[in-house]
Chains A and B, each alone.
Chain A
């Protein structure tokens, strides 16, 4: 197996650079045909002197043919890892790396915390629902969670802000928490609202996934065998059912990490969180193309590499999957 696997990994890795190149090329092309001139945006509502506008355009490298500009950009990225300057934040000059650095960290923190909570809360609830199949507790649990999934996240943010800042503030004060109505630098209580908003809608999906998975396993013959040989129900559930039911989640995990790192545009924007999500939106409205290209490159690298890891993980988790020579 190891030879085939190695070949498989190498082959998959060789696809990564061309994939990223194509993504970058398409995104770059899109920025060229997008309406709106970055120069006009930085000079404001006031129409710029044409001579000055031309000079700014030159400085940003906005002159020249499409291929020439793409070539310059691509060479900068490949040779020096230089994603170029922001068009918008000009003095102090901010590189794309600088603008994104802190933001990725904040988005990732929020994303990982809420992802962890989704697993921690969603899995037990899903198991609970599965074990209570046939009673009101099963649909009760799942539909209770579905409520959060059904409310649009924009409304959910407002609702949770209102609840935690104005209705339940005395409750939170008991624990010494004064939850701000907006993200506040240096205040750890700022995490509460975004984490709630990012976690709650995902619980239903997680619980349902786990529930189905557990139910499937419970119908397996080896579970019947375990029961038949007289194991206690608790042992059957813990040892045989849950362990096997959790396997599909492992692969799910890699991809969900990636999606949370990209941040939630809505939550970050509405709660004033300086993360990647809110910045994507802002950069689009400002036509800050270098920033957009940088974000795209970053996220697509994560996704491409994440997919690769997932494929590899599958091989270890499910021995039935084989990647080898095509004919086998």
Chain B
């Protein structure tokens, strides 16, 4: 739920370095992708990361998403620990040393708990448990009322704007016991958007509210689109009929914070945040762990756990098998031991798709990739199925299109560019660059700092060489520079991932491909696509809108080949049998309150 994140990179970087560090469910991916880890581990040394941090960015992002960044960072920390995870030694069931009612998990350290500042997956996963807003997402990504009694009533105004009316629950409380009022909602959103708050995400998530953009740019004193009607009623007016707006309100930039607390200590109130969410921050030991405890007057029903211990390192299978954590990510090196039928691990294995996609992107303004025929040739030359079975052991679903499963608009019958080496060669010959020296010295940039780019990227490199006769050089760039240079359009060909923040195709197709969007990393411009996207923004008929996005996806993948989608992201985890009520979330959503620990 963090900024649509680019899947953030792990500190250790192999391919899809862009994975959310620290976010257990995504870290997994990171790890997978890091299939080359063993080899790389030896060469790569100690990266830690991050953040976490990036992945979706975060990890690291620091993670920026991810990144984790990073990370990252992302991020980073997990990675480190997971490196220690290469033992596939089967273990006898050890005596359970766990306390009942305590859930033990691992993810990266949050870089902030301020809903206005959070951009990385790792931090967001804490923020959604401690805070809440008018609406929220359930584990299946349906929009549900949170502080509001019901979903809002919607009124179309004569001037083309749309007003959402929310009525707050009578029992919605801050964790210190104070009742949440409509004024709290208005104050919180205005505070997150205020220029001095320096929120990097406010403009994208609440910029649709009437007056918000001018307010963010410090031109007016109030967001007139948010009106307090009475103590429990708040009206939010949006500058047009935008079917995805309600989904944006599930993002932390619309969460409610306690005015008294924020004003009394603007930089440090998050040391002991007074949120409205199901969990309170009970302990934060820098670099080590966070302990969350349930808020027992939570309006949607208090959590059943006694506490949640979240360590900032580890989360891998070794710890899981040694009974140190209750949920762990499974990386590709371990996938075989988990897949063996009849074993305890196999019975505890769960996997679930996430709303993310890993892709190869082209800079559509740089030769030779300004010719769509060259882009398509590169796509037709990759045999994703073989990579999936041979290299990835089928841990990730092959992506035909851009819209991942679970997102409205996903079409399982959609087909992207087929594996067709002859057609690929033909396309190159028909292109403007047939025989051109520009086809030599093509460079694929990935985010990472490992000894090898990882088996997936190496396989793709090999396929291009064999099927097109084109040698492609692989350049690894540290996450810290990768996104910056990507923004500047410095890479002709790059590999990264994207996870959506809210379940609407607008969050990936419009954001990444509309001409002039800041997130348009392919520097792609198309009048046809722009027109379709504009129409989809305000299209009220659900099916028509989905068809518009499907048309856009078809153009992007099959006609213009702006991206070559590779794989959808997927969570692969093992969960102890006594952990009940847990499903791996598909995005960053409040999940802990549903969990119980069986005696």
Indicate if the CB atoms of A37 and B112 lie closer than 8 Å: no
Indicate if the CB atoms of A180 and B319 lie closer than 8 Å: yes
* Minimum Cβ distance to chain A for residue B555 (Å): 23
Indicate if the CB atoms of B313 and A45 lie closer than 8 Å: no
| A155 CB-CB contact with B under 8 Å | yes
| A220 CB-CB contact with B under 8 Å | no
B residues less than 8 Å from A40 (CB atoms): 480, 483-484, 487
* Minimum Cβ distance to chain B for residue A94 (Å): 8
Is the contact region of chain B dominated by helix, strand, or loop, or is it mixed? loop
- How far is B449's CA from A35's CA once the two chains are assembled, in angstroms? 14
Indicate if the CB atoms of B87 and A166 lie closer than 8 Å: yes
- How far is B81's CA from A287's CA once the two chains are assembled, in angstroms? 21
Indicate if the CB atoms of A46 and B119 lie closer than 8 Å: yes
* Minimum Cβ distance to chain A for residue B201 (Å): 7
Indicate if the CB atoms of A278 and B322 lie closer than 8 Å: no
Indicate if the CB atoms of A45 and B61 lie closer than 8 Å: yes
Interface string of B55-91 (1 = CB under 8 A from A): 1111011111111011111101100110111110101
A residues less than 8 Å from B314 (CB atoms): 181-182, 272
Indicate if the CB atoms of B45 and A89 lie closer than 8 Å: no
- How far is B314's CA from A185's CA once the two chains are assembled, in angstroms? 12
A residues less than 8 Å from B73 (CB atoms): 282, 285-286
- How far is B324's CA from A181's CA once the two chains are assembled, in angstroms? 8
- Given that A52-B200, A270-B84 are contacting pairs, would A166 and B76 also be in contact in the complex, using a CB cutoff of 8 Å? no
- Given that A44-B3, A161-B318 are contacting pairs, would A182 and B91 also be in contact in the complex, using a CB cutoff of 8 Å? no
B496, closest chain A residue (CB): A45
B residues less than 8 Å from A93 (CB atoms): 267-268
Interface string of A118-142 (1 = CB under 8 A from B): 0000000000000000000000000
Query: Which of the 9-residue segments A95-103, A228-236, A248-256, A302-310 touches chain B?
Result: A95-103
B residues less than 8 Å from A270 (CB atoms): 46, 80-81, 83-84
- How far is B202's CA from A49's CA once the two chains are assembled, in angstroms? 10
- How far is B112's CA from A72's CA once the two chains are assembled, in angstroms? 26
* Minimum Cβ distance to chain A for residue B356 (Å): 12
Query: Which of the 9-residue segments B286-294, B342-350, B381-389, B422-430 touches chain A?
Result: B286-294
Of A184, A266, A269, A270, the most chain B CB neighbours within 10 A belong to A269
| A48 CB-CB contact with B under 8 Å | yes
| A171 CB-CB contact with B under 8 Å | no
A residues less than 8 Å from B55 (CB atoms): 45
A residues less than 8 Å from B61 (CB atoms): 41-42, 44-45
Query: Footprint of B on A, CB under 8 Å?
Result: 35-37, 40-49, 51-53, 55-56, 59, 88-94, 98-99, 102-103, 152, 154-155, 157-158, 161-162, 165-166, 178, 180-185, 265-266, 268-274, 278-279, 281-282, 285-287
Known: A45-B18, A165-B87. 18 other contacts (CB 8 A): A40-B480, A41-B62, A41-B479, A45-B56, A45-B65, A46-B5, A46-B518, A48-B518, A55-B195, A89-B111, A91-B114, A91-B267, A157-B84, A181-B324, A185-B289, A278-B46, A279-B287, A282-B76
Query: 10 A–B contact pairs at CB < 8 A?
Result: A41-B64, A41-B480, A45-B55, A51-B217, A91-B113, A182-B81, A185-B289, A285-B478, A286-B60, A287-B480
For the complex of A and B, the 7 pairs showing the least CB-CB separation, nearest first, are A44-B64, A272-B313, A274-B287, A45-B6, A36-B480, A269-B46, A91-B114
